[in-house]
Structure 1
Amino acid sequence: DSRMDGIDILKQVKRNNPDVPVIIISGHGNIEIAVAAIKQGAYDFIEKPFNIDQLLVVIRRAMETSRLRRENQSLRRQDTGPTQMIGASASFKGLISQLDKVTKSNGRVMLTGPAGAGKELAARYIHANSNRASAPFVTVNCAGVAPDRMEEVLFGRENAERGVEPGLLEQAHGGVIYFDEVADMPLGTQSKILRVLVDQQFTRVGGNDKVRVDLRVISSTNRDLEKAIAAETFRQELFHRLNVVPIAVPSLEDRREDIPVLADHFIAEFNTVQGLPKRDISDEALALLQTMVWPGNVRQLKNLIERVLILAPGDNDTVLGASMLPTEFLDGIKRSAIGSDEGYLAKPLRDAREDFEREYLNAQMSRFNGNISRTAQFVGMERSALHRKLKSLGLTDEDRGAS
C-alpha cells in the first residue's frame, strides 16, 4: 500500500512476523523517527546516504541476532520432558483411558491430583498424542513467577530499548500452553487470561497491537478450586472455561501395584541419564515400598530410587535389598508394624500373633489396593479363608478405611 509509510509497514511486519528482523532506511531521518522505529521493533535505523559496507555489517548482525533469538526461544519451549506413562494397575488404566479420549480434541483439560502424582506428565502425554504434537508445549509455572512479572511473562512486552519480546502465550502459538498449579495465578491476571480464552488474542505489555494465537489450554492444580472460588481467590468464570474436561490423576497410594514397574523404570532411566548402576531390586524391598505411605507420590518414589542407587553398597551385580533402603524409611516401617507404645515382645504369644496378622494383612491389602484375590494368592491362603481371617481381625472395608 503506497499510502503506508515506513513505520506503518514496520508495525504490520512485526505484528504478523515478530521474529523477522527489520532495518529501516530513510532519507528523512531524525531522532524522533529513529526512536519510533526502534520502539516498534526495528533492529536498526540507517539514514541516507549510507555506506554499503556498513549496511552489510548491520544485516549480518541482525540475522545473527535473529538466529540466536529463535534458537533460544526454541530451547525454552522445546518439549524435553518425558511423555511415557508407566503402569498397569486399574487406576492407571482408567487414567490412560481418559487421557486417550481427549488427545484428538482441542478441548480444555483440568488435571487434578496431589503434588508429585504426575499431572505434568499427563499433560505432556496429551500433547504428544495429539495433532499438535509437532508444535510447542509451553509450561507456565504459576507458583514460580512473581505476581508483578506474570503478565510480562505471559503476554510479552514491547519497548524502545529492546523492541518486541514474545511472551509464553505467543511462544506456544499452534501448540499447548500448560498452566501448572493454576490456582496460584494472580487474580488480576486471571481476568486477562479469561479474555484471551474468549478472543484468542491479546496485547503485549507496553504495546497497542493485537496478537492472535491458536492455543490448546491444559491446566493443573492440587487444590480445591471451588473452595478458592468461595474464598474469592479464583474467578468462577475462568474455572468453568478451564474445567471443560476434568481428569483426576491418582496418587501413588491408589496405584501401589505400579510401584515395582515404576521402580524398574526409574533404575533404567538413572542408568541411561546419569550412568548409575542398573541393579535389580529384591522382592522384599519392593514389598516394603508397596506398603509405605507416599505423601510425595511418584516424585518421592523416584527420588528414593535415585538416592538408593547412589548410596547403596556393593557392585553393579548386587541386588538392592530391603536393608539398603534409607534408615528413616526402615524406622518408619518398623514403627508402623510394631506400634508406637509397645512391641510384640511385651505381649503374650496369642496377642502378639494376632497383632502381627492384623498389621501384616492390612499392609498386604493396601499393597494390592484391597483386591482380595491377589492378596490371597500372595499370602498363600484360599480366598474364602482370607475373608474369614480379615473379618475375625476386624479388617473389614470400613475398618480399613478408618485406619
Structure 2
Amino acid sequence: MSLDILVVDDERDIRELVAGVLQDEGYETRAAADSDAALEAISARRPSLVLLDVWLQGSRLDGLDLLDEIKRRDSSIPVLVISGHGNIDTAVAAIRRGAVDFIEKPFNADRLLLMVSRATETERLRQEVASLRAATGRDTDLTGNSGAINGVRATLKRVAGTGSRVLVMGAAGVGKEVAARLLHSWSQRAQGPFVIVSAARMTPERVEEELFGIEEGGDLVRTGLLEQAHGGTLFLDEIADMPIATQGRILRVLTDQSFTRVGGQRTVKVDVRVVSATARDLTEEIAEGRFREDLYYRLNVVPVAIPPLTERREDIPSLVEHFVAHYANERRVPTPEVANDAMVALQSYEWPGNVRQLRNVVERTIILAPGDRIGRIDVDLLPAEVLGGNGDGAGASAMMGAPLREARETFEREYLRVQIRRFSGNISRTATFIGMERSALHRKLKLLGITDSREE
C-alpha cells in the first residue's frame, strides 16, 4: 500500500514541491494550507504521516498548537515538523510535544525522502505485522493440479490486474478466502492491506460501526474496516449474512467509493477493491427478499466458483502432503509418509467440510499419532469419521454370512465405488489403476448396477 502523507504548509509552492517529490517515490499525498483544512483532512481519513510547517502563518492554529491538537485526536499519527532556518529551538520544542523529528528549510529531495522513510517506518512495520498476523496459519495458494482448480487459478490471474470486482462462490471450507488472498497478492494492490469483513461474526447492530467507523461531535472516534482497507482489498466474507440496510450503504461505496461514518456527516473517500464471497445461492436470497438485486449485479462482475473437494479428488494427495508437511514442521518432527491405504481412504471420503475439514483431519492425525508411529500415517491412525466408524466391520460381518458369489459381488461393488470416487468418476483413470480394460470395466459396472461415473 502507498502510504498516505498529509503536507501542511501555508506556502503553495512548498506544498506542491514536497507533494511532487513524494509522489515520484510512490507515496500518496494530500495537502492543507492551514490548521482547519489539516484537521478536516485528518478527520476524513487518518494519514500515515503529517508533514507540518511549524509556523503556518495566517492559520487559526500555528504549527505547534496544531501538533497538540493532532496528538490529542490520535497520538499514533507521526508528525514530521518543517522548520525555517534559525528555528531550531522551536523544532526541538515540537519534538518534546510529540513530533518524531524535524527538517530544516531549504532541504533537498534526498534528505526529505530519508526523513519521511524514517518517520513512516513504524507505520510500515505496523501494516506488515497486521498482514502477517492475518496470514498466520492460513494457506496462501490453492493447492492442487486438477483441471478444476487450475481453471480457478487461471481466472484469478486474468482478473487480478484489472481491478474488477469478483464474487467467489462455493460451499463452506472450499477455500474462498484463500482465493481472495491469492487474487490480492497477484494484483497491483499486493502491498496494500487485505481487510476481512465477516458479517456472520458481527451482531447486526454492530455491522455498520465496524464497517464505516464512528464519529462523535465531528471528531473521529474509530476508523472502520473500509478506511483500514484504503489502497488495498476489502473482502466481504459471506455477504449474504449482511443486514439488508447495510447492503444499501455498501452499494453506495461500490458506486462512488465514498461513505459517511456512523454519527457523522462528513463524506469519506476511499480507494478499495471489493472482493466478496458466499456459500449461498444469492439468486434464491434475492427471490426471498433477503439480498438486494442491484448489489448482486454490482458485486458479480467476475464470478469465480470454487469446486467442492469431491469434484477434485485428484488434488487430495497434494493437499494431504502439503498439510502433513506443514503440521510436521509445526511440531518439529520429520515429515511422515502417508500409507497408500490411508490415502485411498482419504480420497474416498465425501468431505462435507471440504478442504478445511481435510486440513483439520490431517492436523488431528499428526497431533494424536503415537511417538513411535509418527514416521508413517497408516490407515488405522485416521479418525473414525473418515473410516466410516464401525460401518466397515458391519459390512464384513454381513459378507461373512453370505454365499461366496454374493459376498464377492458385494466386495467388488464397494471396491469399485471407492475407486471411482477416488478418481472423481473418471472411468479411464479408474481402469488404469485397477488394471482393467476400460470396456471391461464398463461391463462390470453395468453388471453391478454402478452408474456414478464419467468418461475422460
Tell me the TM-score normalized by structure 1.
0.84
Deviates more, 1:240-249 or 1:141-150: 141-150
Q: 1:345 aligns with which of 382, 394, 400?
A: 400
Give me the whole-angstrom Cα distance separating, in 1, the residues matched to 2:379 and 2:445.
27
Q: 1:73 to 1:96 in 2, by over 3 A?
A: closer
Give me the whole-angstrom Cα distance separating, in 1, the residues matched to 2:360 and 2:122.
35
Give 5+ residue unaligned stretches, structure 2: 1-9, 12-31, 77-88, 103-118
Partner deviation per Cα, 1:38-63 (whole Å, 9 max, x = no partner)? 8994759xxxxxx9787543315999
- CA displacement at 1:119 relative to structure 2: 0.7
- CA displacement at 1:168 relative to structure 2: 1.3
Residues matched between the structures, number: 387
Q: For residue 174 of structure 1, what is the amino acid of its counterpart?
A: G
Q: For residue 96 of structure 2, what is the amino acid of its counterpart?
A: V
Give me the whole-angstrom Cα distance separating, in 2, the residues matched to 1:144 and 1:68.
30
Point out which structure has higher relative CO (alpha carbons under 8 A, 6+ apart): 1
Partner deviation per Cα, 1:130-173 (whole Å, 9 max, x = no partner)? 22212221111121122222112111223369845322111211
Helix, strand or coil at the partner of 2:376:
coil
Give me the whole-angstrom Cα distance separating, in 2, the residues matched to 1:296 and 1:175.
30
Matches within 5 A, 1:131-170: 131-159=188-216, 163-170=220-227
Matched, 1:335 2:371: no
Deviates more, 1:88-97 or 1:228-237: 88-97
1:47 corresponding residue in structure 2: none
Q: Is the 8 A contact 1:38 1:161 kept in 2?
A: no
Give me the whole-angstrom Cα distance separating, in 2, the residues matched to 1:371 and 1:189.
45
Matched, 1:253 2:292: no
Give me the whole-angstrom Cα distance separating, in 1, the residues matched to 2:50 and 2:373.
54
Matches within 5 A, 1:73-222: 75-77=129-131, 80=135, 81-159=138-216, 163-222=220-279
Give me the whole-angstrom Cα distance separating, in 1, the residues matched to 2:332 and 2:268.
45
Q: For residue 372 of structure 1, what is the amino acid of its counterpart?
A: I
Q: Is the 8 A contact 1:40 1:164 kept in 2?
A: no
1:57 corresponding residue in structure 2: 96
Partner deviation per Cα, 1:268-326 (whole Å, 9 max, x = no partner)? 11133342441001001000111111011111111111111111124376321111112
Q: For residue 96 of structure 1, what is the amino acid of its counterpart?
A: R
1:385 corresponding residue in structure 2: 440
Helix, strand or coil at the partner of 2:247:
helix
Give me the whole-angstrom Cα distance separating, in 2, the residues matched to 1:54 and 1:244.
54
- CA displacement at 1:373 relative to structure 2: 1.2
Give me the whole-angstrom Cα distance separating, in 2, the residues matched to 1:98 and 1:385.
38
Q: Is the 8 A contact 2:328 2:366 kept in 1?
A: no
Q: 1:288 aligns with which of 333, 345, 348?
A: 345
Q: 1:287 to 1:72 in 2, by over 3 A?
A: same
2:381 corresponding residue in structure 1: 324
Q: 1:239 aligns with which of 296, 313, 328?
A: 296
Q: Is the 8 A contact 1:279 1:319 kept in 2?
A: yes
Q: 1:43 to 1:324 in 2, by over 3 A?
A: closer
Q: 1:43 to 1:375 in 2, by over 3 A?
A: closer
1:48 corresponding residue in structure 2: none
Give me the whole-angstrom Cα distance separating, in 2, the residues matched to 1:236 and 1:250.
24
Give me the whole-angstrom Cα distance separating, in 1, the residues matched to 2:260 and 2:418.
56
Helix, strand or coil at the partner of 1:247:
strand
Cα RMSD of the aligned pairs, angstroms, is: 3.6
Deviates more, 1:111-120 or 1:97-106: 97-106
Tell me the TM-score normalized by structure 2.
0.75
Give me the whole-angstrom Cα distance separating, in 2, the residues matched to 1:293 and 1:90.
19
Q: For residue 82 of structure 1, what is the amino acid of its counterpart?
A: D
2:451 corresponding residue in structure 1: 396
Give me the whole-angstrom Cα distance separating, in 2, the residues matched to 1:369 and 1:253.
7
1:10 corresponding residue in structure 2: 39
Q: Is the 8 A contact 1:39 1:160 kept in 2?
A: no
Q: For residue 355 of structure 1, what is the amino acid of its counterpart?
A: T
Give me the whole-angstrom Cα distance separating, in 2, the residues matched to 1:13 and 1:28.
16
Q: 1:73 to 1:144 in 2, by over 3 A?
A: farther
- CA displacement at 1:221 relative to structure 2: 0.6
Matches within 5 A, 1:16-55: 18-20=47-49, 41=73
Matches within 5 A, 1:296-315: 296-315=353-372
- CA displacement at 1:330 relative to structure 2: 2.6
Q: Is the 8 A contact 2:324 2:335 kept in 1?
A: yes
Q: For residue 412 of structure 2, what is the amino acid of its counterpart?
A: E
Percent sequence identity is 45
Q: For residue 190 of structure 2, what is the amino acid of its counterpart?
A: A
Q: Is the 8 A contact 2:335 2:375 kept in 1?
A: no
Helix, strand or coil at the partner of 1:143:
helix
Q: 1:287 to 1:316 in 2, by over 3 A?
A: same
Give me the whole-angstrom Cα distance separating, in 2, the residues matched to 1:77 and 1:192.
27
Deviates more, 1:353-362 or 1:154-163: 154-163
Give me the whole-angstrom Cα distance separating, in 1, the residues matched to 2:124 and 2:206.
22
Partner deviation per Cα, 1:82-103 (whole Å, 9 max, x = no partner)? 3222112222222222222222
Helix, strand or coil at the partner of 2:304:
strand
Q: 1:58 to 1:164 in 2, by over 3 A?
A: farther
